[in-house]
Chains A and B, each alone.
Chain A
Amino acid sequence: MKSFFEMWGRTMEVKWSNLMTYRLNFFLQVFGPALVFFFIKYNLWSSIYGANPTAVIQGYDFQAMIAYQVWVLVIQLLGQGNDSMNLSEDIRLGRISSYLIYPFDFWKFHTAGFLAFQGMQFLLCTVLLCSVLAMGFLANLHFNALLQGVILTLLVGGLWFTLQYLVGLMAFWLEETWILRVILIIVAQFLSGAILPLELYPKWVQSALLYTPFPYLTYLPARVFMGDSGLFLSSLLVVGFWTLIMAGICTLVWKRGLRLYTAAGM
């Protein structure tokens, strides 16, 4: 048991060392896209509501819309920070050869890296949340909603990791996977409610989306953070279900991909 924790702990330590080596890169990677995106949306909704400050759009007044966008920012930082860039590079450049020889599996190495990243994100997110609270963006925050939202978002992090891992594994078949990554991010932004709350979409789209993992990536965790505690348990189960499905697909794809692996450049 001790050796199990030592393996995972040391791998996470190495990941932290790697992240902290290039501090500027790290902060840009973590905060850059999410913060820029948040300020664009903040300005956009300020302009929309500016003409009529008391307007309510599909149940959202200005205050609620900004609170929704703040939670989206928190979810993106806490649950969707990980990317598959390193994974696909490891495969494409033949670096996985070393991991195939170590008695610590490749997926474990990347999962430990993800957990290390997640831990770091958690600390940064706590600082961000305190700042947002101090600025008065979140008026009606309840401890229960916060706790449920954090638990759900951490699980969403697991689902996002498996999705990204799957995209990274495509490097067994594709020279470059960045285009797949960009497509996944754009599709996820639109369909998960990261740009607009899903109430603003036509009813049939909302119903159809519930059969996909997308609303569980952003919209539902945001609703839980905003106090819809009735959604918590069902969302938790569905996110867990999708995570297991994606993990299963990743295992199959890894086994198929490894047969094609030629360890180029070795």
Chain B
Amino acid sequence: MGSIRSLFSRQYEINQAVRDFSVQIEPGEIIGLLGPNGAGKTTLMKMFTGIIVPSSGSLEVLGFDPWSRSKNFRRKIALVMGQKSQLWWDIPAMDSLRLLKAYYEVEEKDFKQRVEELSSFLEVKNLLHVQIRKLSLGERMKLELMACLLHRPEVIFLDEPTIGLDLIAQKGIRQFMKEYHQQHRPTIILTSHYMADVAALCSHIVLILQGQKRYDGTIVDFERILGREKIVTFQFSEPVVSDDSCFRNFESIWNGGGTEVEIKIPEEKLREVSKEILQRYPVVDFHTEKIPIERVMETLWANPELIPPTTR
């Protein structure tokens, strides 16, 4: 019945993908847009690149209004979409690169030099004459990056560039982008669900939740939102009593046999608590780490009220 009724009368719900959002990005910066699925990251990317038009507000990229889509603006930006191939599926990458060379009016000499340089670095020289549809996801992504960098864009938008790639491929792409940035200093706006991408590349991050900006600042400050605490893991030669105050007071997580514990110690108490445990228990090994950014992110997604208002 519902289907028949919907033929004549439908109810629509309007959701605002992004609202009350403002951000300032400095030239040469690498900024990470973070947030869960549906937070509005990709919508922002579409607005920044002029693909969609914001219903209100103003936006300026490199001094241009992206929505006017002037040719000068389009020549200065590049977009890589991890979930969507921009290279022509049925033709070899070199043909696509030649087409892009024509679109961006790259000189033949520069084209040859850039293809040589990028293909060597990305290790795709032998793939340039293979049809795109015959390549693996990782190989294709390297060629997508190559295509987007051919015209030396001033601003690069990377929308989940490592999605679906294996760990080695992810690492390779990260390394490449890092070195490329050091060499040419473009502004990079990155969205990724992999915190390793963000940690490796970004100094500045913006957290978006339900279309609103919830954090805008350095990655170092972001990691400290939950406090300056360290995660310390101790391993013991035999099972120990777990209700001691030096474990109980520090959110201890035990393994099944009582031979390993992970505790969260405030930075200022690290020496004192560690010393006490080392003296009183048969410790065979221990190591310290700061709270992983993934854990900070998970906690803040679940409890956005923990984010101080001054960081927005």
Binding site for B on A (CB under 8 A): 3, 6-7, 9-11, 13-14, 17-18, 21-22, 94-95, 97-98, 100-104, 259, 261-263, 265-266
Are B77 and A97 interface neighbours, CB within 8 A?
A: no
Q: Tell me, in angstroms, the Cα distance from A37 to B55 when the chains sit together.
A: 50
CB < 8 Å: which of B74, B77, B84, B95 contacts A13?
B95
Residue of A nearest to B88 (CB): A14
Q: Tell me, in angstroms, the Cα distance from A104 to B101 when the chains sit together.
A: 11
Q: How many residues of B contact A (CB 8 A)?
A: 34
Are A97 and B84 interface neighbours, CB within 8 A?
A: yes
Are A102 and B103 interface neighbours, CB within 8 A?
A: yes
Interface SS, B side: mixed
Most buried by B among A10, A13, A21: A10
Are B51 and A104 interface neighbours, CB within 8 A?
A: no
Residue of A nearest to B99 (CB): A10
| Chain B residues within an 8 Å CB radius of A98 | 79, 84, 86
Task: Name 7 interchain pairs, CB-CB below 8 A, sorted by A.
Answer: A14-B95, A17-B95, A100-B49, A263-B46, A265-B83, A266-B42, A266-B81
Residue of A nearest to B104 (CB): A103
B25 interfacial by beta-carbon distance below 8 Å: no
| Chain B residues within an 8 Å CB radius of A102 | 74, 100, 103
| Chain A residues within an 8 Å CB radius of B45 | 266
| Chain A residues within an 8 Å CB radius of B104 | 103
| Chain B residues within an 8 Å CB radius of A97 | 46, 51, 79, 81, 84
Whether A263 contacts B103 in the complex (CB less than 8 A), given A18-B88, A94-B84, A102-B74, comes out as: no
Q: Tell me, in angstroms, the Cα distance from A11 to B103 when the chains sit together.
A: 9
**Which 4 pairs between the two chains have the least Cβ-Cβ distance?**
A10-B102, A103-B74, A6-B102, A98-B86
Distance in angstroms from A96 CB to nearest chain B CB is 9
Interface SS, A side: helix
Q: Tell me, in angstroms, the Cα distance from A9 to B99 when the chains sit together.
A: 9
| Chain B residues within an 8 Å CB radius of A94 | 84
Are A100 and B50 interface neighbours, CB within 8 A?
A: yes
Are A263 and B99 interface neighbours, CB within 8 A?
A: no
Are A95 and B90 interface neighbours, CB within 8 A?
A: no
Within 8 A of A (CB), among B84-119: 84, 86, 88, 90-91, 95-96, 98-105
Whether A7 contacts B90 in the complex (CB less than 8 A), given A101-B79, A263-B51, A265-B84, comes out as: no
B18 interfacial by beta-carbon distance below 8 Å: no
Are B90 and A101 interface neighbours, CB within 8 A?
A: no
Residue of B nearest to A99 (CB): B86
Residue of B nearest to A97 (CB): B51
CB < 8 Å: which of B49, B52, B101 contacts A262?
B52
Distance in angstroms from A255 CB to nearest chain B CB is 11
Q: Tell me, in angstroms, the Cα distance from A141 to B75 when the chains sit together.
A: 52
| Chain B residues within an 8 Å CB radius of A262 | 52
Are B51 and A3 interface neighbours, CB within 8 A?
A: no
